[in-house]
Amino acid sequence: MSDFSQDIQNFQRYGTYTYRFDTVGNMTFDSSSVNFNQVYLAFPLQNVIYNPLKIKTMYNIEFEEFIPQVVVEPSSSSDNLQQQLDIIQQENITLRSQLDSVISQNETESSVADQIATKQVILELRKAVGQGRVESDFSDTFPYTPIRKNTT
């Protein structure tokens, strides 16, 4: 091994130093010395006490990066769906009122031809409202209500 004083002189003259490490990875200076301070370099450890007021004046100490920015705005699609729903409900109300008026007319008139025509109108209105699809989905007697079929 080279002499520690020679390493120091080379560093002072040329700016180079050959670093050496012991078996556990610690950097050593003069491994042949019996003086511990010449073998290892000691760093003083201390807790740094910061003044929070000085830090607050220079920097924002609140977290801003990880706070989710949730902005809930009604989308145009939800507004559009609400408008369509309102239109369909209004159409259903209109169809039900027409159905009620045809039913009341059927109760006052009694001719067979009128009853058949009324039945057809009522069934068409019930189909339009979505209560059935074909004529066999409804009862044969007035007011021609939908027949619930058990599906098993």
pLDDT tens digit sequence for 110-140: 677 777 888 888 888 888 888 888 888 888 8
Residue 146 forms beta bridges with which residues? 138
Distance from the first to the final alpha carbon of the chain: 96
Q: How far apart are CA 106 and CA 122, in angstroms?
A: 10
Please write the tens of the pLDDT for every residue from 5-16. 787 888 888 888
pTM above 0.75, yes or no: no
